[in-house]
Structure 1
Amino acid sequence: MLVAGSENGVHAVTGIDGDGPVTVRRVLDAGPVMRLRTLDGFEGVFAATETGLYHSSDADEWTNLDVPREKVYAVAAGAGGRLYAGTRPAHLYVARASDESEFTRGLEWRELRGIQELPSRDEWRLPRHENLAQVRDVHVHPASPGRVVVGVEVGGVHVSDDEGETWTERRDGVDDDVHELRLVGPDEFVAATGFGLFRTADAGRSWTRLDEGYDQRYFRSVVAVDGVIYAGAALAHTATWDDEDADPELFACRDGETLERVEHPRPDETVTGMSDVDGALVAATHRGTVMLRRPDGWVVAGSLPVSGRLAGSYTPLLSFDG
């Protein structure tokens, strides 16, 4: 089963990896969905949305985990049952849970104030975002459970090596407008930003820009599938995506240094969400098209409802065996 997010909640997509009909059913009415995650140490799936952070063991029944701020944009898990939530405005919270039964009883969230003390904190804003920033992504790699990595829109990448208590800025060399951040390894991160696709192999101490030579510099999504990094981009921001000259592209990076174009069935649609189904890439576009890349080529597997305020600018996807 594929779990997909849109601006009107979470949807269960069944039949995408088979030969039968594909069905799309809304399972959570939560407003815009920013992230869908399965997390080490916890069963089920988490949905970070503009109306809260939700958890479900079966992608059918959902519990609001009552993060102190309503707009939750990112979620991750660390060692010892730690659950992290990143919000808009840009704050980071942590709670502990020994198992999922504590979710219904209520979690005790604590703000990790160290992130507010970073030297660049007062710069985290964008006029068209109401002069606010949001923690767009949070990650903990299982090989380095004490390290927490956040990507901030607009504010860059920052790293903690003590479970989120103190922080170091790793924003030099990477664009501050972070849309999606992926941890390929404990020290290898890839950032899809509003002005380029960036990779680091030393936990953000230095960054390499991967999209040099291409006109598409507005990257919205990134994922690693079977050792290959895929990223979706367009020439400019979301308001231009339906223009005749939007010219979106899907890219692949196989060597950690260079990009190549990936042809797919909807070349005029911007890829805004990606995941894998049994090792195969699945991608969703700003118009709601869901595509699956099989060994013998692409298939258009279905569509999601994406009309409205966000116009499909985020369509997170997650393969889930619930």
Structure 2
Amino acid sequence: MATAYVALRDRLLVCRGSGPTADDWTTATRLEGHSLECVAASTDAPERVFVGTFEDGLHRSSDGGETFAPLETDFVSQAVTSLAISPHDPDVVYAGTEPSRVYRSANGGDSWTLLEGLTDLPSEPEWYFPPRPHTHHTRWLEVDPFDPERLYVGIEAGAFVYSPDGGETWHERPDGSRRDNHSLATHPDREGRIYSAAGDGYAESDDGGESWRRPQDGLEHTYCWSVVPHPADPDRVLVSSASGASAAHTAERAESYVYRRTAGEGWHRLDDRGIPMGEGVVRTVFDDPALNASEAVAADGVVYGVNNQGLFVTTNFGDRWRPVGIDWDDALKAQAPRGLVVVEE
């Protein structure tokens, strides 16, 4: 059984099916009317789901998405912009906010601790989010799969930041890192490997974020948004991208694409593979259920992707995509999805 949680601007879709190739998917709508920003869940604790909203704080489900309740927190604001569940312990959860702060819970969200010092970094005065240039936010959080104390943070916009010691100290803007990191990913079989999809391009690290390289050959659209590696091959990567922010996020002006890269080769655009791309399509958000557990549940190239045309799945890492059989009406086609997480039981 697979459950896909699709965070849209004004609702959460809870989509359930017996597997990626099945036609028995059903959809329920949750948190309608809230302004959603992010979603997190783990196969290690599939009953627990977290959703961050921009105006109404953090919500949690303890019954696999059937019901949600707001959590009382003392966050700096009600704008929860990023979430991460530790691959080492599903009770350890991280939350990021606007303005940029990082919080940690060790008990599944019942209580939270501020990881201080992030905004004391020297580059903080240069951080800003263009639509609201007076502020900035924690766009992405990622826990290293080999070291539970090592945390990676993407600030939109301004810096890649990492902590080697659970937030006691922070290191910013290492050599070659991107400034406008939209999503980060790690690999369970390649220690030190990090992937970044950023507004200023793609980047990879092999030393836990301390230095970066920028393979761009063949990537014609460099406003990158979502990235996912193949769970059995860290050198195979999917990324979604566009020419700029409007083309990525605004349905009326959308034009986005999906690219794939393999070791020793440049990027190749996955035209005519079954996933919508091009004019009218906002950037795709990816998730691989094999990466949402402490032990991979299926390392066979299954990846889900959602954009304003629907939810899609590939079982061969992008060679061919098929739509997941759920209703996708005109109201959904006008939205740019905010987040996607898929768990398998």
Report how far residue 225 of structure 1 moved: 3.2
Q: Which amino acid aligns with 1:201?
A: D
Corresponding residue number in structure 2 for 1:224: 229
What's the counterpart of residue 5 of structure 2? 3
1:289 matched residue in structure 2: 310
- What amino acid is the match of 1:117? D
Asked if structure 2 preserves the Cα contact closer than 8 Å seen for 1:10 and 1:30, the reply is no
1:13 pairs with one of 12, 15, 22: 15
Is 1:120 aligned to 2:151, yes or no? Answer: no
Cα distance change of structure 1 residues 33 and 182 upon mapping to structure 2, 3 Å threshold: farther
Deviation at 1:171, TM superposition (A): 4.3
Residues 8-52 of structure 1 deviation map (CA, whole Å, 9 limit, x = unaligned): 121111236344354322123362333322248755222222232
Q: Does 1:193 align with 2:214?
A: no
Cα distance in 1, alignment partners of residues 25 and 52 from structure 2: 25
Q: Is the 8 Å Cα contact of residues 45 and 320 (structure 1) preserved in structure 2? A: no
1:179-190 alignment runs, 5 A limit: 179-184=182-187, 185-190=190-195
Find the aligned partners of 1:312 and 1:130 in 2 and give their Cα distance: 23
Rounded to whole Å, the distance in 1 between the matches of 2:264 and 2:84 is 25
SS state at 2:117 partner? helix
1:291 is paired with a residue whose SS is strand
- Checking the alignment, whether the CA contact within 8 Å between 2:203 and 2:215 is kept in structure 1 is yes
One-letter amino acid of the counterpart of residue 292, structure 1? V
- Tell me, what secondary structure is at the counterpart of 1:208? coil
1:40 to 1:139, Cα distance in 2 relative to 1, 3 A: farther
Q: Could you tell me which residue of structure 2 aligns to residue 166 of structure 1? A: 169
Cα RMSD (Å) of the superposition?
2.9
The one of 38, 49, 52 aligned to 1:48: 52
User: TM-score, normalised to structure 1's length?
Assistant: 0.85
Shift of 1:222: 1.1
* TM-score w.r.t. length of structure 2: 0.80
CA distance in 2, matches of 1:213, 1:157: 24
Mapped partners of 2:237, 2:102: distance in 1: 27
- Partner Cα separation in structure 1 for residue 176 and residue 194 of structure 2: 13
The yes-or-no answer on 1:238 pairing with 2:239 is no
Contact kept? 2:251, 2:334, Cα under 8 Å: no
Q: Does 1:146 align with 2:131?
A: no
Unpaired segments ≥5 residues, structure 2: 290-297
- Indicate yes or no: 2:63 matched with 1:64: no
- Could you tell me which runs of 5 or more consecutive residues in structure 1 were left unpaired when the two chains were aligned: none
The residue type paired with residue 208 of structure 1 is R
Give me the identity figure in percent.
24
Query: Which piece of structure 1 moves more, 23-32 or 52-61?
Result: 23-32
Amino acid across the alignment from 2:213 = T
Alpha-carbon distance in structure 1 between the residues aligned to 2:340 and 2:103 = 24
